[in-house]
Every structure is written in structure tokens, then in C-alpha cells.
Homo-oligomer: A and B are copies of this chain.
Amino acid sequence: MEAKETLKAHIGKLAVLTDEQFDYFFSHFKKQRFQKGQTIITRGDAVDCEYFVVSGCLKSFFVNDDLKMFILQFAMPNWWASDYNALYNQTKAAINVDCITDAEVLCLTSADREKLCKEVHNVEHFFRWRTNKGFVAAQKRLLSFMNNDAKYRYEELLKLYPELYNMVPKHLIAAYLGVSRETLSRLYHS
């Protein structure tokens, strides 16, 4: 089974679970398929799941009062996505998550995550390290924001995730970089 193997390999990079432990862990996930354009988390709604991406590409994004969109994350296969602020603090979603392409995800509720972390020490180990890495990545992006201009950040992003270039429209890349689509267009046409 494709999704199960994908998750297993992913977990295996950060933690060691026995086959029985992994099967138990996996039994708490619900497989879901979404189509391009479908919304997974809507601002204002309650959030009780996080999503492991098996295939496709999601985006998590914030829309401000002027309807400008800012992309927090492109979630590719083997990434996790949710509104973590809402999920951890049990508040309503402040950001949205939707599908840039058709996608297959594995959904885990917050309650099940906590239950699994309590029951299986190595699951907690996994989630600790997953977030450790996310935290470091967020700090790096923050630093790049302060230090580098749009062109540099664009090239940095494409170097790190070349597949984005063909997978997502440029105006979404602009929304990730925090510049207008016009500015992004000018970066490589002049």
C-alpha cells in the first residue's frame, strides 16, 4: 500500500518504530483525496487535524484585509500541513490550506496525535524532531527575509525545490516570497 509505505519511510528517518508500533500508529490516519482547488482548512473553522502529504501539493496561506495572499508553506509529498497555531491552541483557523494539484493526504487528529505520543514514546520522539526541523527551517526563512532581496530569495527557493517551478503558478511563488507578482515577473525578465 503506497501511502502507508510513504509514511513509514518518512517516520523512519527520525524515529525507530517496530512494525507493530507503526501499524498501530498508521491505523489512526484517515486517507483522503482532494482535487486541485479544493479547500482543506478554511479560515474561521475549527481545526482538529494535521495532514501528511502522500502525493500532490498543498499550500497554507493567509489572506489579509486587503485580500493580499501570503503563502506560509508549499506542502509537497512527505511534508505535513495544518494551521498549527489553531491546532495547538484550539482556536479557529486563521489561515487556509488548499490544493494546488490533486492530492492524497493522510489525516491525523490532534487528539490521536497526543494519544499516540503518550502511548508510544518513539512517536513522541518523531514529532519532537519533526517540529525541531520545522522550527529551524522557519528561522532560516526569517533570516533570509531580513537579509536577502526578492531575487536572491527566488533563486534560493528554486534551488531548494526546483519542482516548484513547473508545478505552481508564478503568482503563488510571489506570494511565498512576499513580493508582488509584477515584481517577481520583472526579476527574470529584465
Contacts and interface: CB of A to CB of B under 8 A. Distances in A.
Nearest to A64: B147
Contacts of A135: 84, 131, 134-135, 138
A146 B64 CA distance: 10
A140 B70 contact: no
Interface residues of A, number: 32
Contact of A124 (B70, B124, B178): B124
A33 interface: no
Contacts of A136: 84-85, 88-89
Interface in A58-94: 62, 64, 68, 70, 72, 84-85, 88-89
A128 B118 CA distance: 12
B84 A146 contact: no
B147 A62 contact: yes
A70 B144 CA distance: 10
Interface of A: 62, 64, 68, 70, 72, 84-85, 88-89, 117-118, 121, 124-125, 127-128, 131-136, 138-143, 145-147, 178
B124 A128 contact: yes
Contacts of A85: 136, 139-140
Contacts of A178: 145-146
B141 A142 contact: yes
A6 B19 CA distance: 41
